[in-house]
Structure 1
Amino acid sequence: MLAITGIVLSLVLLMYLAYRGINVLVLAPALALFAVLFSGESGTLLGTYTQVFMQSLGNYVVKYFPLFMLGAIFGKLMDDSGSARAIAHWLVRRLGSERSILTIVLACGILTYGGVSLFVVGFAVYPIAAALFREADMPKRLIPGAIALGALTFTMTALPGTPAIQNAIPMPFFGTDAFAAPVLGILGGGVMLLGGMFWLNHRASLARVAGEGFGSHVDEARIEEATGSGPGIALALLPIVLVILGNFAFTKYLIPALDHGYLAQPKFGATDLGAVLGIWSIICALALACLVLIAANWRRWTNLRDTLNKGTLGSLLPIFNTASEVGYGSVIASLGAFVVVRDFLVGLSPNNPLISEAILVNALAGITGSASGGMSIALNTMGQTYLQLANQFGIAPELLHRVASIASGGLDALPHNGAVISLLAICGLTHRQSYSDIFVVAVAIPLLALALVIALGTAFGAF
């Protein structure tokens, strides 16, 4: 009982102290060892730290660092080339200020589905959103909800082929690729998009009836036409199209056509193509898109070296934060008391591991305030168990993948989530002003979409 108490206390402290702003690089190992102390294995502290925590952290970095680095570089290239702003301006011209919410949601969705990070999207789109909402006299407090809907929901976890890390993490655990259960993903994504748009439009209508306008804000944003120095819309969209179509081509045709028998050798980890295909495909698609982006905008770079360096450095903190949370999960899973926790989770739905998987991923994503961190902990501790149960009950691994991915984007967006805090800071708003809309579009509606995907997947399988 004392060991279980230690696990629960360490999880609670991880959530509380992360919310208070203490870096997870310090928190994760400290609280993992805190749980070890309660387990009665205090003599193993140093061994647990170096041989379990650090080994797990290192394995995660080895596996996913190329995705974090290439994604960060791609986002920075899209930003500095003016491509991200060009896409947003094009949508403004096509849809107009009267469709401000839809314009911002689509701009964020296109950029994030193409591999641009939330932080780049937030900085690129917010000034345009502020100008649009001011022109339409729509409450500024709705902007974070619109950006969150476009960047933190359907393109992050649901749509097939998205290069988001939340769609990449399940691949090596289940032997799947980024296009797992594509129709279910599209249906889940559609619920998120349509449900979120309904909510935000409803809130805008209520504000209009109440006579609430943009509000009094110190905000100098104005809608400016893209200048001649920026790329045209076709050139701006080309890298994003390459990420999506390239990912599909590499996954389904190009990489499988190569000789990959050498992977069975111990030198290459004695593995097979199924274990690496998804990650290889995203690496190739992002690398191709970066090269094309650099070449197509060659004359626009004021300091390409600085852009590449900032993009690379910008990937380090996110991956080490997530890897530290993975190390934490591995320590917890190594404790004898975790067997009780594991059996309890499996027992929540003994005949349907999809439900147990969804609950576990959601709970850990909420506790850590991180979709990727929570899912990584869940799959590192229980992924093999869920795969065995899925085989036992005839559930396709692709369905496990899509449920895990969508589940990571539910409770992760609670108030202590780093992306939520950063988004509100970019917009110059507070939790009190805007979090209720973020909660509905990025937590409540994705949970409904998750329930739909589980129900359809249970009834009809992966499709």
Structure 2
Amino acid sequence: MAIGLIGIFVSLALLITLAYRGVSIIIAAPIAALVAMITSGMPLLATYTDIFMPAMAGFVGSYFPIFLTGAIFGALMLFSGYATDLANTITRWLGPARAVFATVLTSALMTYGGISVFVAVFVMFPLARELFRVADIPRRLIPATIALGILTFTMTAIPGAPQVQNIIPGQFFQTSTFAAPALGIVGGTLVFLVGMFWLEFRKKQLMRAGESFNDITTLETKYGRGADLGLTADNAPNGHSNSEASSEATATTTATSAVKAPVTTRKEIDYGDEDLPVAATTTQAPLAPTNHFFPFIPLLLVFIVNFSATQFVLPNLDWSVLEDDAFGGITLSDRSATWAVILALLAAIISIVLLNIRRAKELWQAFVDGTKNSLQPIFNTASEVGYGAVIASLAAFTIVRDGIFGISSNALVTSAVSTSVISGVTGSASGGMTIALNAFGEDLRNMAVDQGISMEVMHRITSMASGGLDSMPHNGAVITLLMVCGLSHRESYKDVFMITLVIPTLVTAALIGGILLIG
């Protein structure tokens, strides 16, 4: 048992190391699982084919439609030019003087509107860079500013968020993406306000110290001023996946300025160092929006259709057919969160096509690229889920389980701790939450029922807990965000750490404390 427990921790360390070194999670997860199997004396082939693979396939089977529709939607927003036009419109409304707020607001609107976090990164960076340049704000704050909008309250807290981190708990607690709306709004507002306070504090602190936008960065020192990494999902670090795991659509576009469109010819830029990524490529120019209100329509549809399907449409339909053995005995509550988001994303996709019906043939490339690029993100996360299933099957895992449940007898605390810790280890909010709920979900449900805790509250706290410790340095979204912005961990991770890890974790802990206090 002791050797098996040591093997678990060694395999976890190996997984973190491989992920941080850029090894694809699809490869790293089974390798790390192999270490745990060997030290525990498990049959290697049987464990891989009958534990690892079924868990991996189960995740793909449950969430592939979300990744696919989200990928296509993101690609269409980019190809139609709506994403860039949306960012520019909001910027014009607020002005460069509110550069930090404008960046956070635009990023949040995109992700809450259904655009994947990675798509938002590639759209927001050039805009934020221009805003920060005009306002002469130190550029090291760009990653944290974008992160506040895409990796915190719109990912896990605000009710109705169509990101996968807000969908997964519904499968275990039979809840919708609008679970515990008041709690989610309070938590999301706190994360936003404290995050804005930190960014404004750091902006003033750095500017008082004499730092400006034009100060040379670490990468400029290494590769020369003016170097543009031009990262896309095609050349971002392999295997890095967070809510991030749905970065699918960005392979078709470049990081562009707030005004200029992406390059439309394939090319490579030689930076003289093989460690730098190849410059971005695209096969098609984005279309120019003819009406600045149009980009808001798909985002509004995501919310309206998601809310309507959750609250009115789906509950009022006859679902007696689900009693058939062919459907495995599921109920509407088991699938409503997933179905509502799929319908919402489909409605948004259709709206973009209809608004650009005369250019439908040109938009076809977005469908092709979105479909292709939905595959790696979901298989990255699914591979982590397979790894978690192997660990949970080991005899030594009972010690880990007892340790987690020994922290507190309260279901909320136990769910938050287990989700946070495993998300931190895997560097993935969605992967960590799925692993934790697969291992402890039934026990947590029973504990919550016995303690009179609402399943909706369990949903919201578990979702928010996944978006804290996941933002460790090896987190894929963090690494990609820093690389897109051309900044190093040393320069910008301190602020990203505060925005995406410390603040969400403290707010989640405060909410749990408030719930326990009020009862």
- Which residue of structure 1 lines up, in the alignment, with residue 226 of structure 2? 218
Q: 1:263 to 1:331 in 2, by over 3 A?
A: same
Partners of 2:44 and 2:412 in 1: how far apart? 34
Is 1:373–2:435 an aligned residue pair? Answer: no
Partners of 1:232 and 1:365 in 2: how far apart? 42
Given residue 249 of structure 1, which amino acid in structure 2 is its aligned partner? Answer: S
Match of 2:351 among 263, 275, 292: 292
Partner of 1:71, secondary structure, is: helix
Given residue 341 of structure 2, which amino acid in structure 1 is its aligned partner? Answer: I
The answer (yes or no) to whether the contact 2:80–2:287 under 8 Å persists in 1 is no
Given residue 224 of structure 1, which amino acid in structure 2 is its aligned partner? Answer: V
After TM superposition, give the deviation of residue 299 of structure 1 in Å: 3.6
Is 1:360–2:418 an aligned residue pair? Answer: yes
- Which residue of structure 2 lines up, in the alignment, with residue 417 of structure 1? 475
Match of 1:315 among 367, 370, 374: 374
Partners of 1:259 and 1:230 in 2: how far apart? 41
Q: 1:228 to 1:342 in 2, by over 3 A?
A: closer
- Which residue of structure 1 lines up, in the alignment, with residue 317 of structure 2? 258
Alignment of structure 1 residues 45-194 onto 2, 5 Å = 45-194=44-193
Partner of 2:316, secondary structure, is: coil
- Which residue of structure 2 lines up, in the alignment, with residue 434 of structure 1? 492
Given residue 77 of structure 2, which amino acid in structure 1 is its aligned partner? Answer: M
- Which residue of structure 1 lines up, in the alignment, with residue 22 of structure 2? 21
Partners of 1:302 and 1:138 in 2: how far apart? 42
Between 336-345 and 75-84, report the one with greater CA deviation.
336-345
Is 1:240–2:299 an aligned residue pair? Answer: yes
After TM superposition, give the deviation of residue 228 of structure 1 in Å: 9.6
Partners of 1:357 and 1:15 in 2: how far apart? 22
Q: Give TM-score, length-normalised by structure 1.
A: 0.95
Partners of 2:298 and 2:258 in 1: how far apart? 24
Q: 1:412 to 1:270 in 2, by over 3 A?
A: same
Partners of 1:72 and 1:191 in 2: how far apart? 30
Partners of 1:431 and 1:341 in 2: how far apart? 31
Query: Residue by residue, what CA displacement relative to the aligned partner does 1:236-268 show, whole Å, maximum 9, x if unpaired?
Result: 111111111110100111011111111111101
Q: Quick check: which one's helix share is greater?
A: 1
Partners of 1:225 and 1:3 in 2: how far apart? 56
Query: Residue by residue, what CA displacement relative to the aligned partner does 1:164-219 show, whole Å, maximum 9, x if unpaired?
Result: 00001111111111011111111111111111111111111112222321124527
The answer (yes or no) to whether the contact 1:81–1:231 under 8 Å persists in 2 is no
Partner of 1:428, secondary structure, is: coil
After TM superposition, give the deviation of residue 301 of structure 1 in Å: 5.5
After TM superposition, give the deviation of residue 349 of structure 1 in Å: 0.3
After TM superposition, give the deviation of residue 224 of structure 1 in Å: 3.0
Partners of 2:443 and 2:11 in 1: how far apart? 23
Q: CA RMSD in A?
A: 1.7
Partner of 2:211, secondary structure, is: coil
Partner of 1:256, secondary structure, is: helix
Given residue 46 of structure 1, which amino acid in structure 2 is its aligned partner? Answer: L
Partners of 1:416 and 1:300 in 2: how far apart? 41
Given residue 428 of structure 2, which amino acid in structure 1 is its aligned partner? Answer: S
The answer (yes or no) to whether the contact 1:69–1:312 under 8 Å persists in 2 is yes
Given residue 489 of structure 2, which amino acid in structure 1 is its aligned partner? Answer: H
The answer (yes or no) to whether the contact 2:179–2:460 under 8 Å persists in 1 is yes
Given residue 242 of structure 1, which amino acid in structure 2 is its aligned partner? Answer: L
Partners of 2:358 and 2:145 in 1: how far apart? 34
Partners of 2:55 and 2:505 in 1: how far apart? 30
In structure 1, list runs of 5 or more residues that go unmatched. none
Q: How many residues align?
A: 458
After TM superposition, give the deviation of residue 40 of structure 1 in Å: 2.5
- Which residue of structure 2 lines up, in the alignment, with residue 339 of structure 1? 398
After TM superposition, give the deviation of residue 13 of structure 1 in Å: 1.2
In structure 2, list runs of 5 or more residues that go unmatched. 217-224, 229-255, 262-285
Is 1:395–2:453 an aligned residue pair? Answer: yes
Given residue 140 of structure 1, which amino acid in structure 2 is its aligned partner? Answer: R
The answer (yes or no) to whether the contact 2:155–2:166 under 8 Å persists in 1 is yes
- Which residue of structure 1 lines up, in the alignment, with residue 246 of structure 2? none
Partners of 1:187 and 1:297 in 2: how far apart? 38
